[in-house]
Amino acid sequence: MISPVRQIDWVDCVWPKHLKESQTESTNVIDEMMYPKVQKYCLMSVKGCYTDFHVDFGGTSVWYHILKGSKIFWLIPPTERNLQLYEHWVLSGKQADVFFGDTVEKCGRVTLTSGNTFFIPTGWIHAVYTPLDSLVFGGNFLHSFGIDKQLKTAQVEDTTHVPQKFRYPFFTEMLWYVLERYVHCLLGRSHLDEGGGGEPEPVKSGSNKHTHLTPQELHGLKAIVMFLHSLPTNKKNVPELIRDPIALIQDVRTVVEQHRYDNPEFAVTGKSILRSLDDSDRDQIRGGRMPLAKNCGNRSSTPMLSGATKQKHSSRGEGGKVGNGGHQSGTGPRRRRTRCKKCEACQRSDCGDCSFCHDMVKFGGSGRAKQTCIMRQCLQVSILCIVNALLCN
């Protein structure tokens, strides 16, 4: 991945490292996802393909590299007026009749060719045409310098009824981890429970110099708190790793109060406050010299996501395989998503036409994919917790 992206991407800077390192499933099956797997894509497009105007999920920014072929982008800035027009256009059901670029004041066009690298900022409305067979590498990322527009895009997704499976995975959980990370870095207090017990140690810093936040970060932290506060209780999705969300919010208020008069010029240092692991740390983790999580005698060592998402514990053995027995050190509860059995999708029958149905044994397939019919993917998944005994079977 491109280095500047890695330095600010919340997946690398905010999401708990041991969860990302525990990922073993190579596909994007949400039931097996340990972190938002949206950082790297390989896009293969044939000549004549067209993707109509849209905003990437969660208002993510995009990096885009053309290895072969060509792409033409139409780009519209995410102003309040343009987003309102976009909502109206989507809800009108007339996308096939109206070219959205004709309805706004300004619509830019960019042509990319082989070797070009392109960035799409947070929340920009765009369409893509493929004039030549193309092979493209790209990825999506959330960051601290576009929080307001990221949250606005999430609200637009609600308004336009975007299905959950087409949204940024674990978007709300990520917001909680962002708040925790800022508190951790600026106040030296950790609100993550990684099974170690006791009070967390303060962050050690080589300097007592005041750290200045950018206006985007300061306003963004306040916007996150307001966004989470506005959600109904069943959609707040507090990760299980967050010990005390109320105390965390109080600390965020302290951060905002301490930094309300920060100088924007002093905030420009070239270094992110939310620093990701450096290369040596990454090598140590991959080599098994750094623990992914602390073990605890009477509880899971990796409580990870909220009750509205899935939780899956793994212990790394030889070859990085997931431990599946009680004899593995650090093995905890295995939590999987389960159907609500009440929503419209759960009530449907298998369509028999989609690629997942064609793979099913009952339709003559091999059964390798082991995925639900695309028409029956639950819209309100919950958690089924299966506790494995550690000392006996």
Residue 226 CB neighbours (<10 A): 10
- Rounded distance, CA 156 to CA 148, Å? 12
- Rounded distance, CA 5 to CA 155, Å? 25
Q: Phi first, then psi: give them for residue 184, nearest 5 degrees.
A: -60, -45
Is the model's pLDDT at 336 over the cut of 70? no
Is the model's pLDDT at 274 over the cut of 50? yes
3-state helix, strand, coil split of the chain in percent (to 5) is: 35, 15, 50
Report the pLDDT averaged over residues 248-275. Answer: 91
Highest mean pLDDT among 258-272, 290-304, 351-365, 373-387: 258-272
Q: Give the largest CA-CA distance in the chain.
A: 68
Highest mean pLDDT among 2-11, 121-130, 229-238, 327-336: 121-130
Is the model's pLDDT at 121 over the cut of 90? yes
Contact 66, 113 (CB under 8 A): yes
Report the pLDDT averaged over residues 59-79. Answer: 97
- The pLDDT-based confidence of 2 (bands split at 50, 70, 90) is low
Of 17 and 310, the structure prediction assigns the larger pLDDT to 17
CA angle (146, 236, 334) in 5-degree steps: 110
Q: Count Cα neighbours of 351 within 13 Å in the Cβ-side half-sphere.
A: 11
Report the pLDDT averaged over residues 353-366. Answer: 78
Report the pLDDT averaged over residues 33-55. Answer: 94
Of 127 and 201, the structure prediction assigns the larger pLDDT to 127
Q: What pLDDT, on a 0 to 100 scale, did the predictor assign at position 299?
A: 31
For residue 168, what are the contacts with CB-CB under 8 A and spacing of at least 6?
36, 38, 57, 58, 60, 140, 142, 154, 174
Q: What is the mean pLDDT of the chain?
A: 80
Report the pLDDT averaged over residues 20-34. Answer: 83
Q: Phi first, then psi: give them for residue 150, nearest 5 degrees.
A: -65, -45
Contact 344, 380 (CB under 8 A): no
Q: What pLDDT, on a 0 to 100 scale, did the predictor assign at position 145?
A: 94
Over its C-alpha atoms, the chain yields an Rg (Å, rounded) of 22
Q: Count Cα neighbours of 345 within 13 Å in the Cβ-side half-sphere.
A: 15
Which spans in the chain are helix H? 3-8, 10-13, 17-21, 80-92, 147-159, 171-187, 215-230, 245-258, 264-267, 279-286, 344-347, 355-359
Report the pLDDT averaged over residues 154-182. Answer: 94
Q: What pLDDT, on a 0 to 100 scale, did the predictor assign at position 57?
A: 95
Contact 373, 356 (CB under 8 A): yes
Q: What pLDDT, on a 0 to 100 scale, did the predictor assign at position 165?
A: 87
Report the pLDDT averaged over residues 285-302. Answer: 36
Tens-digit pLDDT profile for residues 310-328 = 443 333 333 333 333 333 4
Report the pLDDT averaged over residues 229-256. Answer: 94
Q: What pLDDT, on a 0 to 100 scale, did the predictor assign at position 337?
A: 54
- Tokens for 34, please give them: 């340990």
For residue 167, what are the contacts with CB-CB under 8 A and spacing of at least 6?
57, 58, 154, 157
Dihedral, CA of residue 343, residue 175, residue 39 and residue 306, to nearest 10: -50
Is the model's pLDDT at 381 over the cut of 80? no
Mind listing the domains of the chain with CATH numbers?
Answer: 38-144 (2.60.120.650), 171-286 (1.20.58.1360)
- Rounded distance, CA 49 to CA 131, Å? 8
Q: Could you tell me which of 127, 72, 81 has the C-alpha nearest to residue 104?
A: 81
Is the model's pLDDT at 159 over the cut of 50? yes
- Rounded distance, CA 191 to CA 154, Å? 25
Is the model's pLDDT at 296 over the cut of 50? no
Tens-digit pLDDT profile for residues 208-239 = 688 999 999 999 999 999 999 999 999 999 99
- Rounded distance, CA 280 to CA 289, Å? 11
Is the model's pLDDT at 294 over the cut of 60? no
Is the model's pLDDT at 180 over the cut of 70? yes
Q: What pLDDT, on a 0 to 100 scale, did the predictor assign at position 1?
A: 59
Residue 239 CB neighbours (<10 A): 27
Tens-digit pLDDT profile for residues 66-75 = 999 999 999 9
